[in-house]
Structure 1
Amino acid sequence: AFKYVIEKDPRNLNLLKEMYNMWPFFRVTIDLVEMVFAKGNSEISALYDKLLVPEDLQSLGEQLRENYEETKRQLLQVSGHKELLEGDPYLKKRLRMREPYVTILNVFQAYTLKRIRDPNFHITEDPRLSKDIEMSNKPAADLVELNPTSECAPGLEDTLILTMKGIAAGMLVTG
């Protein structure tokens, strides 16, 4: 929407800036959009594309990331900020603290999805494992047996669910 309004008449950028500064509802709305953008990560998006998207469709992801960056730039112009969440350093700090955890969960999730989708991926027992090691992993084996209807290799569906829950917890409104 920013792009359309600004391209229609470049003076509209000044109007949007004035609206941001003068209208509380507009300001709060833009600040919420800014928070959503602060949670986005183009590099993680590119990883999902690289691992999971057919090559002939990857240009769509590239275009979406370009649109994301362009919209972010326009959002910053309207708010007058140099970087996202400049107006809310507390929230910015909270998101930065969560970022390493959410990022690694996204990486785990992308690779788990890749394995789930790979028809040639099968987990086989390592014949070199001793009975002691097998017995020490008994709680894990018991957990895997709790989900006998899974079409995935043992543990993959559970890993996917855990990453989904972890990412969702990390992405909650954190203010």
Structure 2
Amino acid sequence: GTVRGQIRLTEQGEVIGSKYANPEIGRRNLETLVAATLEATLLQPAQTSQVATPAFLQTAAALSQASMDAYRALVYETPGFADYFFQATPIREIAELNIGSRPASRKALQGIEDLRAIPWGFGWGQSRITLPGWYGFGSAVQAFLDADAAQGEAGRKKALALLQKMHRQWPFFRTLLSNMDMVLAKSDLALGSRYASLVGDARLRKKVFTQIEAEWQRTAEALALITGEPQRLANNAALARSIRHRFPYIDPLHHLQVELVRRYRAGQTDERVRTGIHIAINGIAAALRNTG
């Protein structure tokens, strides 16, 4: 009911350039906005079957709490995690870029709490982990299923059936999983491990990346269980095709960026190295699209 014949959007400067600089692409984006506005305005409101039931809301609250607990256990309760993040992502190099209307952090860049939300997401996107978009969901689903497993296999099946019903009948939950599916499709653990190699402490590197890798597997498996689709973007052929065509071009940029960041942090701070890092950051961001 929020869209009634009109909608107001704010487009950032770099987005305006990518969406409207080319007339053909500009028309396509305008058509998409107009079509979505008309659809939201003219189609019938959601049926009663699509309204969240008390059971749906209770389950979502349980998943949210368990997911947040898992997320905070990694980010705030893992010794050395901040060091891992600042070394395994090009966040400090991103902070030097002359982009955005505000600085990357609210004060001198010393800890995760100092970062604004967009650089936090941007750093994980550049390293192809995309962690804020999915971390914790796999553990939350596992905990939810295990809680009912005390009643035997029948209890576990009943809990899974509820999650599947939520996916079928509740647009909010279905959209949430669809967004998570998209973010996972843009992640690449092999490339993420290359960025992890920038972490000087081998034990810290192995400990944190192993946790990230395990949760990625749990989340992918949870999505497959609930949606019934083991492959990423099974219901979005256009985006799957777009990613398949775009990403081979940026994989070399990732390897180049890792090497240049390694040199830059080792003291090779001449302008060519610095410029190369910034060009790689821009190229990867352009291909990833929604990167933070």
Match of 1:77 in 2: 225
TM-score, scaled to structure 2 = 0.46
State yes or no: 1:112 paired with 2:260: yes
1:36 to partner: Cα distance: 0.3
Q: What is the distance in 2 between the residues matched to 1:107 and 1:53?
A: 18
Q: In the TM superposition, what whole-angstrom CA distance separates every residue of 1:49-99 from its partner, at most 9, and x where no partner exists?
A: 124442121221122112112211111211110211111111111111111
Pick from 282, 285, 288 the counterpart of residue 165 of structure 1: 282
Alignment of 1:48-127 (within 5 A): 48-59=195-206, 60-119=208-267, 122=268
Query: What's the secondary structure of 1:155's corresponding residue?
Result: helix
Equivalence for 2:168 = 21
The verdict on how the C-alpha distance between 1:166 and 1:78 changes in structure 2, with shifts beyond 3 A counting, is same
Q: For residue 13 of structure 2, what is the aligned residue in structure 1?
A: none
Distance (whole Å) between structure 1 residues aligned to residue 190 and residue 220 of structure 2? 15
Query: Contact conserved, 1:51 with 1:111, CA < 8 A, in 2?
Result: no
Shift in alpha-carbon separation, 1:8–1:53, aligned structure 2, 3 A: farther
Q: Deviations over 1:109-155 (max 9, x none)?
A: 11111111114xx5xxxxxxxxxxxxxxxxxxxxxxxxxxxxx1231
Per the alignment, in what secondary structure is the counterpart of residue 64 of structure 1? helix
Q: CA-atom RMSD, angstroms?
A: 1.5
Distance 1:76 1:22 in 2: 17
Q: Which runs of 5+ in 2 are unaligned?
A: 1-139, 149-155
CA deviations over 1:27-49 (Å, ceiling 9, x no partner): 11110110000000000011111
Q: How far apart, CA to CA, are the structure 1 residues paired with 2:251 and 2:184? A: 15
Aligned residues: 142
- In the alignment, what sits opposite 1:130? none
Task: Provide runs of 4+ in structure 1 moved above 3 Å.
Answer: none
The 2-side partners of 1:3 and 1:17 are apart by 14
Q: Which SS does the other structure have where 1:86 is aligned?
A: coil
Q: Deviations over 1:140-174 (max 9, x none)?
A: xxxxxxxxxxxx1231111111111111111114x
Q: Distance in 2 between matches of 1:71 and 1:117?
A: 33
- 2:144 matched to which residue of 1? 5
TM-score under structure 1 length normalisation: 0.75
Going from structure 1 to structure 2, the CA distance change for 1:25 and 1:101 (only over 3 Å counts) comes to: same
Q: Which has the larger radius of gyration?
A: 1
1:37 equivalenced with 2:154 (yes/no): no
Separation (CA, whole Å) in 1 of partners of 2:260 and 2:199 = 10
2:273: which partner in 1? Answer: 156
Indicate how the Cα distance of structure 1 residues 24 and 50 shifts in structure 2: closer, same or farther if over 3 A, else same: same
Q: In 2, Cα distance between the equivalents of 1:18 and 1:53?
A: 46
Query: What amino acid is the match of 1:5?
Result: F
Structure with higher RCO (Cα < 8 A, 6+ apart): 1
5+ long unaligned stretches in structure 1:
123-151
Percent pairwise identity: 25
Matches within 5 A, 1:138-157: 152-157=269-274
Q: Distance in 2 between matches of 1:53 and 1:164?
A: 22
